[in-house]
Amino acid sequence: MNLPNSVTEIIHGLENGTFSSRELTKAYLNRIDNLDPKINSFITVCHDQALQDAENADRRRATGTANKLTGVPYGNKDIFCTKGIRTTCGSKMLDTFISPYDATIVERLSSQGMVMLGKTNMDEFAMGSSNETSFYGRVNNPWNIDCVPGGSSGGSAAAVSAGFAPVATGSDTGGSIRQPAAFCGISGLKPTYGRVSRYGMIAFASSLDQAGPMGRSVEDLAHMLEPMAGYDPRDSTSSIVTTEDYSRDLEHTLEGKRIGLPKEYFATSLDYQIESVIEAAIKEFEQLGADVVEISIPTTPLSIPAYYVISSAECSSNLSRYDGVRYGHRCELPSNINDMYDRTRGEGFGEEVKRRLLTGTYVLSSGYYDAYYRKAQQIRRLIKNDFSKAFKHVDAVVSPTTPTTAFEAGKHLNSPVNMYLGDCFTVASNLAGLPALSIPVGFADGMPVGLQLVSSYFKESTLLTFGHMFQKATDWHLHFSQDNLKEAQ
Amino acid sequence: MMPWEVVIGLEVHAQLATSSKIFSGSSTAYGAKANTQASAVDLALPGVLPVLNKRVLDLAIMLGLAIDGEIASESIFSRKNYFYPDSPKGYQISQYDKPIISKGQLKFSNKGEGKVINITRAHLEEDAGKSLHEEFQNTTAIDLNRSGIPLLEIVSEPELRSAQDAVLYLKELHCLVRTLGICDGNMQEGSFRCDANVSVRNIEDPELGTRTEIKNLNSFRFVERAINYEAKRQIEVLEDGGVITQETRLYDPEKNETRTMRSKEDAHDYRYFPDPDLLPITITAAHIAQIAEELPETPWNKRRRYVKDYGVNSEDAAILANSPETSVYFEACMRNHAVSAKLVANWIIGELSALINKSSLTISNSPIVAERLVSVLERIEDQTISGKIAKQLLGLMWNTSDSADQIIAQERLGQVSDNALLEKIISQTLIDFPSQVQDYKAGKVKILGFLVGHVMSETKGKANPAMVKDLLEKSLTQGV
């Protein structure tokens, strides 16, 4: 069968009986089997489980107990715990870890009757912006397999872009949904901190981590966000603010809406091609009725250092549980407990994870805490204030998602700081806890360019409306790398 | 020789009496099979998150109110990072710079001298699991049933000046947490244990000496002996011209000595920082007021009330008030004011305690419930039975559910107060002991005791001794 191009199309197809979930699931699995060896976007493909779930979904549909998303396949980032299915977080440390429980969002997507195709590749413990730190090998960008897909949700982004899954889950600590979405030419939403439960999502930096949907169109994101969002009593930081009918309320005029362009974001020497693609997109928003104003986020240059201090501090503590005592990797024949810790962690973690653990341990040590961790938290408050001020005047803050398009694999591997600087536009919304959306808005040298919109707390609907109205008027989201991939065959 | 002063500060870990753990739904019941009370959260599986058991806040607030401390309107949980196999997350969730309770006080008296000890802080934290070294050869096993048990760590200022004071402070705190119902106080099960910080100094020295910390003392006796040993050790070191090194020590009760566990150089940098998985704890004035309204009476108020309202002496008041179970029993006895408080106190502290000690029961589940004890004491007061018979009666009641009156009737324990019968026995006695009667009449009135005793034994103890004495005196004088 020909694979449908959107979740909306799948919903109609399943409702009208054009195809069954089993047929659809089989088609996606075939495509993964045939083409993913080129991309490496999946760590684990769940053939049997997926077909069984698809059959169950078809049965539900036959008995009239189906939900909107019953039978819709998805890719699941390997950071979300799945009962009975290996959950690796891209690390050797968890290579053998089979979770005895489902993450809250997995539970919610399953209860909708969605069909999990497999677990997607990612940077180890979500630490990375290129998907090159995965224990399971790097992921290739379907637009150009010599380039990285971005990270850390690089597997999910590449899988959606390559047509291996209509939608996928992602997680975003400093841009890990938006940056790979931009690099792979798809749409990705990082919701407000607390909008989606973190229970069962393996922690990187607890105060920044947020799960969200990745898909081709904003409309697809809206479909997927509905079951993902909502309060979870198992996550103390999840919000009790009521969720919305995200997919139903997409269509609204942008007339009178205000877009803010932070002068600091555009002051940096942006790549000329990217800048012109972004400018064209902003013009499009103006044509749709939005007013564009210049704003200021003076704390912009402080975001990256604050982000790397806080995220490293938190991960140094979060990853302490991987000690070889209860589960996961344990070194051979430890001579004593310290030897076991040293070798287990030395062998189980990759370079980038170790770099962050050392950084985090350092910034929390006595004598350095005030200079680094406390200072970073103060900056974090200032960043929040900057955005709060901005949202008194504008509905969305717009910028490129990334300063460059997808770069060649290996380019930044030996210069971690250059890699970190690529997060300059994305980390602020994590530090402030704000929702942020990346949508494809064009190409530079044949590689996709993403535009980021950030909105105020729990204004996911606003972001989705901006994105949807843009996509109704343009066709950038309908350029598919999967066609590329066929030619490459 | 220089006069030395011992300076002691105590850190008490009181296990809060909740049915589930502080951050998970696992049971806190003691004694379960290893790792059967350890959920995904307690095992620190990837992706799990802690959720605060709000009950611990109420219990901490209760302590805060009782010690007149400050209850923080906002306090936070912090992570104390360290690697140890029985610490499954690699950090312990505790409180650091913003504890829930600070600046309280606890008073006690030592031989009539009143003392006030300042309590620096009391903070919430989770307990660690248990490493089992002995059970398996060449292997350490981990039991995580304890992991996540809620603790309140209560830290005193270094204001205690003797091992005896330290024990009295601990006993008063122990009594308080049990009376408030926030901790079961079971020291053998580790529900109430303490670390002692000990230093010594020249009595005129304004500065404190270098301290050592003795870990995990779980009986009052060990606390006293460990502090005494440690103080003596430190004095000896200093008198020999040595220096005390700051370190953590362990007390070995078998050898009665303390020894080094780890030195300051090995001390961890715990890298405390606020736990991002948990929101700040906010406590409103209304919440505190609600807890205050339901706060059980403190032991010290209870003791005062027993003396003032019931007239029992202060020693008995302390015995009755210090054990919550005993005080519940005592107050149940006094509910209808049917018998005098002094009598009740004597019998609870005396005969009833003796019976309970002989059995494996406690006062709250003894077969002689308060109402039954009172029914016995009523018969003493109305002179149906003597104290001696009452003891016998209690013994009989221990094994049956029959009422006191039923047993008195069945066993004919009632005192003989039939004048005619007594007079008959008395006349016979006067006939049987003519020389004693002579002596009495000659002025040796003390001999009356002998005659009373004989009449009592003739009645098998069931006569009312006062009545016998009366009647004897009457007969003897009449006979003149």
What pLDDT does residue B459 have?
79
Return the structure tokens found at A462. 């606003």
Return the structure tokens found at A178. 């938006």
Tell me: the pLDDT tens digits for A412-423? 888 888 888 889
Pair (B267, B304) in one structural domain: no
Q: For residue A42, which of A9, A76, A79 has the smallest C-alpha distance?
A: A76
Closest-CA distance, B322 to chain A, in angstroms, reads 40
B316 to each of A330, B124, B297, B310, how far by Cα in Å? 61, 35, 18, 11
Q: What is the dihedral of CA B425, B430, B431, B434, to 10 degrees?
A: 160
Q: Residue B474 sits in a domain of what CATH number?
A: 1.10.10.410
Average pLDDT over residues B131-160: 92
Mean pLDDT of chain B: 92
Q: Which of B232, B252, B286 is the last residue of a domain?
A: B286
From chain A, pick out residues whose CB is under 8 angstroms from the CB of B83: 320, 323, 341
B77 in A contact zone (CB under 8 Å): no
Q: For residue B154, which of B13, B291, B21, B357 has the smallest C-alpha distance?
A: B13
- Site of tokens 């350029």: A479
Residue A68 has pLDDT above 60, yes or no: yes
Pair (B51, B115) in one structural domain: yes
DSSP 8-state class, residue A366: T
pTM: 0.91
Q: What interhelical angle do B465-478 and B434-441 show, nearest 10?
A: 80
SS3 A119: strand
Q: Which of B360, B388, B410 is the last residue of a domain?
A: B410
| DSSP annotation string for B379-423 | HHHTTSS-HHHHHHHHHHHHT----HHHHHHHTT-S-B--HHHHH
Asked if B89 lies within 8 A of A320 by C-beta distance, the reply is yes
Tell the burial category of A255 from Cβ atoms under 10 Å away from its Cβ (0-12, 13-18, 19+).
exposed
Tell me which fold the domain A7-253+460-488 belongs to: Amidase signature (AS) enzymes (3.90.1300)
Pair (B210, B99) in one structural domain: yes
Residue B480 has pLDDT above 60, yes or no: no
| DSSP annotation string for A6-61 | SHHHHHHHHHHTSS-HHHHHHHHHHHHHHHHHHH--EEEE-HHHHHHHHHHHHHHH
From chain B, pick out residues whose CB is under 8 angstroms from the CB of A326: 43-45, 88, 142
Residue A487 has pLDDT above 70, yes or no: no
* Type of residue found at B434: P
Average pLDDT over residues B74-79: 98
Q: Nearest 5 degrees, angle CA A176-CA A179-CA A185?
A: 130
Strand order in the sheet with B247-252: B70-71, B101-110, B113-126, B150-156, B4-15, B192-202, B212-217, B247-252, B257-263
Pair (B139, B258) in one structural domain: yes
Return the structure tokens found at A177. 């949904």
- Segments forming the whole domain that contains residue B233: 4-286
Question: What are the residues of chain A with a beta carbon less than 8 Å away from any beta carbon of chain B?
Answer: 80-81, 87, 89, 94, 97, 99-101, 103, 198-203, 205-207, 233-237, 313-314, 316-317, 319-321, 323, 325-327, 337, 341, 361, 364-366, 369, 373
CA pseudo-torsion sign B320, B324, B326, B328:
positive
Tell me: the pLDDT tens digits for A462-475? 999 999 999 999 99
Residue A269 has pLDDT above 80, yes or no: no
Mutate to test the interface with B, among A317, A333, A343, A377 (most CBs of B within 10 A): A317
Closest-CA distance, B26 to chain A, in angstroms, reads 14
Q: Residues for chain B: how many in total?
A: 480
What pLDDT does residue A489 have?
43
Enclosing H/E stretch for B168: helix B163-180
What pLDDT does residue B417 have?
64
Residue B276 has pLDDT above 70, yes or no: yes
Average pLDDT over residues B212-217: 95
What pLDDT does residue B2 have?
65
Tell me: the pLDDT tens digits for A284-338? 999 999 999 999 999 999 999 999 999 999 999 999 999 999 999 999 999 999 9
Give residue B318's pLDDT band: very low, low, confident or very high (50, 70, 90).
very high
Average pLDDT over residues A105-130: 98
Domain definitions of chain A by residue range = 7-253+460-488
Contact status, residue B418 vs residue B442, Cβ threshold 8 Å:
no
**Domain total in chain B:** 3
DSSP 8-state class, residue A218: H
Give residue B342's pLDDT band: very low, low, confident or very high (50, 70, 90).
very high
ipTM of the complex: 0.96
Q: Does some domain include residue B292?
A: no
SS3 B261: strand
Contact status, residue A159 vs residue A177, Cβ threshold 8 Å:
no
Residue A64 has pLDDT above 60, yes or no: yes
Distance between CA atoms of A271 and A105, rounded to whole angstroms?
Answer: 38
Average pLDDT over residues B449-466: 83
Mutate to test the interface with A, among B43, B45, B81, B142 (most CBs of A within 10 A): B45
What pLDDT does residue B418 have?
67
Contact status, residue B95 vs residue B124, Cβ threshold 8 Å:
yes
Pair (B143, B235) in one structural domain: yes
SS3 A340: helix
Enclosing H/E stretch for A111: helix A104-112
Pair (B146, B67) in one structural domain: yes
Pair (B120, B214) in one structural domain: yes
Radius of gyration (C-alpha) of chain B in whole angstroms: 30
Pair (B201, B254) in one structural domain: yes
* Type of residue found at B291: I
Cis peptide preceding A152, ω within 30 of 0: yes
Average pLDDT over residues A84-113: 98
Q: For residue B322, which of B140, B115, B178, B191 has the smallest C-alpha distance?
A: B178
Q: Which of B286, B305, B340 is the last residue of a domain?
A: B286
